[in-house]
Chain A
Amino acid sequence: MDTFLFLLTDGITSGAVYGLVALSLVIVHTVTRVANIAQGEYVMFGAMTLASFMEHAVPATLGLVLGGGLLCALFEAWDARRAPRRLLRIALTSAIAAAVLCGAVWLTLASQSHYVLSLACSLLLVSALGPVVYRLTVQPGLNSSAVVLVIISVGVQMVLHGLALILWGAQPRPVPPVSTAGFQAGAVFLSAQSLCILAVSALVMAGLFVFFEFTQVGKALRATAMNRRGAQLCGISVKRAGLASFALAACFSGASGMLVAPLVTANVDMGFLIGLKGFVGATFGGLATYPLSIAGVAIVGSLDSFAAYSLSAYRDAIVFALILPVLLLRNGPRHQRSDR
């Protein structure tokens, strides 16, 4: 029984980590049709950025975002080359964005890398990475087929991973937990970090619900997800919706990386597997429904934990095999319907 509880709590904790990634995947997929293979890399960028702050260093993410942002601004400027007022606006917004990011990093470092400030600033930097990636890789091929978009995201994954390896090296870095406290619940020791992961995940899910139901931007995103053409005709900018979805997704995945880093250290290889497991969870909801995706990651996390206990050599195979019955079940009835 103790073993069961131990495995279950750890399974749910990992499930919550995958859950944030699954939510990101669903947001990106519904709004932009991209099944984002690169989503796990934002997890790694979140963890590595936080680790850099903990070492009182300027995170390499800043350079990446500024460099990418400059490229975006140049592309935008080229598009607007005949409209001086738009050019001016692009220059102004870019300068403000760069100043805000640099200012945030400076403030964080000036505060001797205060933990909460470091978290917030890392989150800001990683969130900024999302729109940059969207502008540079997705927007040019906005009307391509879903397969092309998936292949682009595979390329993005390779580039981001390679960049991180160059910028940070392969060495794992320790990241201190939010708090070393915890409490004994029966035989199981619950660390503050695990509770924090669960709390943040729950908060994000609730926040997302409020955002989609009650805010204008959220409603616009939902409209784009339901019918892109229709949304466009109603005056919703598909481009802006895409930028917003990538920013949100990067933010959630980055948060998941920062939360999990104290448990597994920050290293450049951590992202991909977390991303894939989040993906398996999200397939439960067909990369489209939030509640089913959450159920999916809870199952993936627990199965992961129990498989590692009873058959550790096959744990990943068992988790990834889960995708087969899910795909069969999800696709079966729909086929029948289309036949009729």
Chain B
Amino acid sequence: MTTRSLISCLGLLACGLLSLAAHAQPAKPELRLGVVLAASGGASSIGLPERSAVALAEEKLGKADLPFTVKFVSYDDASDPTKSTNAVRRLVEEDKVHLVICCTTTPSSLAVLETLTTTRTPSITLAAAASSVEPADQRKYVFKASATDRMMIERLLDEVRHRKAKKVASIFADDSYGESGLNALKASAPGAGVELGPVERVARTDTNFTPQALRIRQSNPDVVYVHTYTPASYLMQEALRRVGYTGLVIQSQGSASAAFLSLGNAGLDGTLVIVAPVVVQSQLPANTPGRAALDEFVKTYEGKYGAGKADNYSAMGWDAAHVAVLAFKSVLEQKKTNLADLGATREALREAMESMKGQVSTSGLVGFSPTDHVGVDRKVALPMSEIRGGRFVLTTH
């Protein structure tokens, strides 16, 4: 009996000492970042590189000498909007995060919108659709530090006008990526003086691409724009060749991957592909804004995951984590916010995001405003490349 009470006394003493030691060190403020990405399910090929990049950012930030600590809480939404909403609610209410990085897909990003708005939690989305962040007055708490599909369409129209082409036929994926891109094209084409030819839809899992290709060839377009992912984007182009279309094909960012090149071998030469800076990193002029940040990202990421692995998606994940950290830094520097107050910190973070200007990222300079929640410029964030000899070559103009 006496031994046992002695042990418990000692235990209590040890606990007291430990807590004293913890109190003796001035506690650093903590930034809690929630992450909801599609690590499994249909969008996992996009979600996995995003998650790897966020994990790498976590590792780097853990080692960095910062005036605050960063805690990441990650959930997988399995590409399912319902699961994304549940995960975000859990992050906001139970994990008490300050900012959420969510989500990989457009449907998920739209589904979590209400939770974010009602709980006043700022977020950074990785989804392609402009509708996930625009209009900014209805998406007060959502930001995006990478190019949207609307910017991609504008980049396409820039190119079409530059080539003095008139008629554009197009093929869109029959999911949210395609739907959103198609709406953007329909909205922007008339203003750009571009005539829209047939608009066709394909699925990633289709087995026959000839019918759509036939219809497009019969309309004699100057340019064919393909807005879907591999392998459908490649198979569509192959079908166009088969039915005898020889004109220019422009591919969306969905094809800006090594997988696309490896499918086509040399048969894709002359195709234009809208890419991300990371895809043509080594070819970018040294004075490109953000080049140093891009180089550092590629070096770090490929150092960990292997050469040639850095892509558009991983770059987006990396940027999202860094933009969040930058915003928290500026909140701390202003010293106005009581960090113990969760709601006030979230609001301060949102304001810090909205007033962010000229910060470097892998796709050029990032800056937001109350009317613009897409941080990047399309001229820098969406370089145009041409496939030559089985690689993406930056085109200059």
Contacts and interface: CB of A to CB of B under 8 A. Distances in A.
Contacts of B208: 10-11, 13-14, 304-305, 308
A165 B44 contact: yes
A7 B259 contact: no
Contacts of A165: 40, 44
Contact of A6 (B201, B204, B243): B243
Contacts of B234: 172, 265
State the majority secondary structure of interface residues on A: helix
Contact of A189 (B174, B206, B235, B242): B242
Interface stretch (B115-123, B209-217, B275-283): B209-217
A172 B259 CA distance: 7
Q: Using C-beta atoms within 8 Å of the partner chain, give the interface range for chain A.
A: 35 or more
Interface in A1-59: 3, 6-7, 10-11, 13-14, 17
Contacts of B30: none
Contact of B212 (A14, A264, A273, A309): A309
Contacts of B214: 3, 6-7, 309
B218 interface: yes
B263 interface: yes
A171 B262 CA distance: 10
A269 B42 contact: yes
Contacts of B201: 312-313, 315
A311 B234 CA distance: 21
B205 A308 contact: no
B211 A263 contact: no
B200 A312 contact: yes
A274 B210 contact: no
B257 to A, nearest CB: 8
Contacts of B246: none
Interface string B11-51: 00000000000000000000000000000101011001000
Contacts of A283: none
B2 interface: no
Nearest to B198: A312
A149 interface: no
A270 B235 CA distance: 13
Given A6-B243, A174-B263, A272-B205, A267 B231 contact: yes
B113 interface: no
Given A172-B263, A265-B231, A265-B263, A312 B207 contact: no
A306 interface: yes
A170 interface: yes
A171 B211 contact: no
Contact of A264 (B40, B207, B215, B243): B207
Q: Using C-beta atoms within 8 Å of the partner chain, give the interface range for chain B.
A: 20 to 34
B207 A263 contact: yes
A260 interface: yes
Contacts of B215: 309-310, 312
Nearest to A260: B207
A76 interface: no
Contacts of B382: none
B206 A10 contact: no
Given A6-B214, A171-B45, A309-B212, A316 B203 contact: yes
B252 to A, nearest CB: 16
Nearest to B42: A269
A320 to B, nearest CB: 12
Interface string A258-280: 00100111010110111000000
A171 B230 CA distance: 8
B268 to A, nearest CB: 12
A252 B205 CA distance: 20
B101 interface: no
A10 B208 CA distance: 7
A263 B236 CA distance: 11
Given A6-B214, A308-B211, A312-B212, A270 B205 contact: yes
B57 interface: no
A309 B203 contact: no
B44 A172 contact: no
Contacts of A308: 206, 208, 211-212
A264 B235 contact: yes
B203 A17 contact: no
B262 A273 contact: no
A165 B259 CA distance: 16
A267 B207 CA distance: 12
Interface string B174-211: 10000000000000000000000000111111111011
A264 B44 CA distance: 20
A273 B203 contact: yes
Given A14-B208, A265-B234, A3 B203 contact: no
Contacts of A312: 200-202, 211-212, 215
A152 B264 CA distance: 39
B174 A313 contact: yes
A264 B204 CA distance: 10
Interface in A297-319: 304-310, 312-313, 315-316
Contacts of B259: 171-172
Interface in B221-242: 230-231, 234-235, 242
29 contacts: A3-B218, A6-B210, A6-B243, A7-B210, A10-B208, A10-B211, A11-B208, A13-B208, A14-B207, A162-B40, A170-B44, A170-B45, A172-B230, A172-B234, A174-B265, A189-B242, A260-B207, A263-B235, A265-B231, A265-B234, A265-B235, A265-B263, A269-B205, A273-B207, A304-B208, A305-B208, A305-B210, A307-B211, A313-B174
Interface of A: 3, 6-7, 10-11, 13-14, 17, 162, 165, 169-172, 174, 189, 260, 263-265, 267, 269-270, 272-274, 304-310, 312-313, 315-316
Given A174-B265, A272-B205, 11 more contacts: A6-B243, A11-B208, A165-B44, A170-B45, A172-B263, A269-B204, A312-B200, A312-B211, A312-B215, A316-B174, A316-B203
Q: Which 7 A-B pairs have the closest CB atoms?
A: A170-B45, A309-B211, A308-B211, A172-B231, A265-B231, A273-B205, A313-B201
